[in-house]
Amino acid sequence: MKRTRILVLAGLLALITLSHYLVGGAQAGILHGLLGHLYILPIMVAAYWYGIKGGISVSIASSVLFSPHLFLHWRDPFLDIYNYVELFLFLFIGGVTGVLSQMERNQRLRYEEAISRLDESHRKLKEQTDVLFQTEEQLRRADRLSALGELSAGMAHEIRNPLGSIKGAVEIIKDDYAPDEAKYEFIQILLKETDRLNHIVQEFLGFARPKNPEFQFVDLNDSIDSVLTLTAQEARKAGVTVEKKLDPAVGKRSLDAGLLKQAFLNLVLNAIQAMPRGGVLTVESGLRNGAVEVKIADTGVGISEEDRKKLFSPFFTTKKNGTGLGLAITYRIIQNHRGTIDVASKRGKGATFTVTIPVS
């Protein structure tokens, strides 16, 4: 670019000089004078492109190319004065135009720097605003969890006692009927539903009274292996292929293996249930930036953006018979390990849950 501009300026000077000298001397009259004025064009262009240095340099070059007219052909004193004035104008125009161009360039740079600083300030303000919104949402979530926790604990306690009595009474009645009798089937259904209710109550209690982590040095990969063994049968029934990519470098870390098993079990079961027609479940572990990272990805139905916003809220579920507490409990377990859990998903393209837990 710079070389092209220099060639353009040199070409203009050469063309003007050649035209000026070919026209002749004083007898050429007005045309000769006008051609001399054309030197102003490359002077102004150079000043615009290169500032004061460019304007002065080209004005000096123009003066040198014009100066032979001081000694050739001129016999009229008026024309001698005119030529000296012309040289002065070249230098004057080159200097003034160069100064103005340099001032405009400096002002433009100041504007660009100011805009850049404003953009940076806007970006930082946006980041701080996002952090404030996230903090506010976390506080609201904590308030909801606290209120729901107290409510759940009271409800679970009130339900659990009569539920135990109901189950005990049904088991006693069960002994009065043979397996081939019609009422025996209804008793089995009653026991099954009682167990399901008891499981829901257990979830309520687990949510309402979360267990504090008991940190011990354990191998996280062993916990993940244990979860995959527990869910292997369900994965086979659903036609799900499990791909395991566990990094041995994770090693033993200070964690609560029992709670993390519960968290990963919830995530793996959700992933399997998201692939009713089969698919691939990928479980990865590794170290990244001083933290253990576990990814659980499926190729299932995916999660809509609207559902992702409420995914870890208590009692939110998209399952027909779900309680909406599994992911809320998982979120709390990871949070109690000073970690984070994120989800990336698109409808019809599966979902990836990423658990990050800082380790020393």
**How does pLDDT run across 38-86, given as a tens digit for each residue?**
777 887 888 778 777 777 887 888 777 777 766 655 455 555 566 677 7
**How does pLDDT run across 80-119, given as a tens digit for each residue?**
566 677 777 777 877 788 788 888 888 888 888 889 888 8
Q: What is the pLDDT, as a whole number, of residue 240?
A: 92
Q: What is the pLDDT, as a whole number, of residue 31?
A: 62
Phi, psi (deg, nearest 5) at residue 330: -60, -45
- Give me the CATH code for the 216-358 domain, please: 3.30.565.10
Q: Is 356's pLDDT higher than 90?
A: yes
- Give me the CATH code for the 135-208 domain, please: 1.10.287
- The residues facing 355 across adjacent strands are 294, 341
Q: State the CB neighbour count (10 A cutoff) for residue 35.
A: 18
Q: What is the pLDDT, as a whole number, of residue 243?
A: 92
Q: What is the biggest distance separating any 2 CA atoms in the chain, rounded to whole angstroms? A: 142
Around 90, how many Cα atoms within 13 Å sit in the side-chain half-sphere? 23
The conformation of residue 213, written as its DSSP 8-state character, comes to: P
CA distances from 351 to 51, 287, 295, 307, 316 (A): 58, 21, 10, 12, 17
Domain boundaries, the chain: 2-108, 135-208, 216-358
Q: What is the pLDDT, as a whole number, of residue 268?
A: 92
Distance CA 168, CA 146 (A): 33
Non-local CB neighbours of 216 within 8 Å, separated by 6+ positions: 254, 255, 256, 257
Q: What is the pLDDT, as a whole number, of residue 40?
A: 79
CA distances from 56 to 2, 51, 84, 135, 215 (A): 17, 9, 17, 61, 76
Number of H helices, E strands in the chain: 10, 7
**How does pLDDT run across 146-162, given as a tens digit for each residue?**
666 666 666 666 677 77
Tell me the pLDDT of the chain averaged across its residues.
79
Q: What is the pLDDT, as a whole number, of residue 280?
A: 92
Q: What is the pLDDT, as a whole number, of residue 26?
A: 47
pLDDT band (50, 70, 90) for residue 230: confident
The conformation of residue 248, written as its DSSP 8-state character, comes to: G
**How does pLDDT run across 117-132, given as a tens digit for each residue?**
888 888 888 888 888 8
**How does pLDDT run across 6-19, given as a tens digit for each residue?**
787 778 778 877 77
Q: What is the pLDDT, as a whole number, of residue 79?
A: 56
How much is the pTM?
A: 0.49
Q: Is 273's pLDDT higher than 70?
A: yes
Say which residue, 282 or 156, is predicted with more confidence: 282
